[in-house]
Amino acid sequence: MNSTSLNLTCYKIAFFILLLSFSILSLNVAPARSGENADSIAQSEEAISSAFKETLKAEEAGANTSKLIQELNEALMVLSEIKANLTKGYQKETARLTYELIDITNNVKAKASFLKGSAEEYRNTMLTYSLMIPAFGVPPFIFVMIIVWRWFSRRYE
């Protein structure tokens, strides 16, 4: 396992531990939610979930998603602030943080989509090169080897 995949695995594990800890903390906040508060929490969690899925797709395509994981961790911190503000009853701050979280996750999704496309394009380019180099490199090599063979065969007849 190379160091890049090891780092990505570490980021995944850290992200899941952070997500699990925030999920456990949200159990304490659940009784204090009203309908509107539950909607902002659900909307925030859905935004983080969809951003994480896009990031995972980009990573599967071969993109370096370490910065995106950091941004998702930032979004999770904002989610914890939202939940804390809900328990204190700060509606305006909760709404502002919800919009901030949605902006962060939309930014992550856009970057992940771009990185996924770039990684796929790079992979296709490398595949093309790996097919073209042998196709154009082997025939001249064989031609040169035939000329050398003929030269040696004439010289030592």
Q: Where do the DSSP E strands lie in the chain?
A: none
Residue tagged 């509107």 (tokens):
36
Are 83 and 29 in contact by the 8 Å Cβ rule? The answer is: yes
Residue tagged 């570490």 (tokens):
10
Q: Is 62 inside a domain boundary?
A: yes
Q: Is 133 inside a domain boundary?
A: no
Q: Is 145 inside a domain boundary?
A: no
Are 112 and 68 in contact by the 8 Å Cβ rule? The answer is: yes
Read off the pTM.
Answer: 0.63
Residue 138: CA count within 13 A, CB half-sphere = 6
The range of the structural domain enclosing residue 91 comes to 3-125
Q: Is 139 inside a domain boundary?
A: no
- The structural domain count of the chain equals 1
Per-residue pLDDT in tens (0 to 9) along the chain, 157 residues: 555 555 556 667 666 665 656 666 554 444 444 566 677 788 888 999 999 999 999 999 988 999 999 999 999 999 999 989 888 888 888 889 999 999 999 999 999 999 999 999 998 898 888 888 887 888 888 988 999 999 988 888 7
Long-range Cβ contact pairs of 121-128 (< 8 A, separation 24 or more):
122/62, 123/61, 123/62
Q: Is 22 inside a domain boundary?
A: yes
Q: Is 136 inside a domain boundary?
A: no
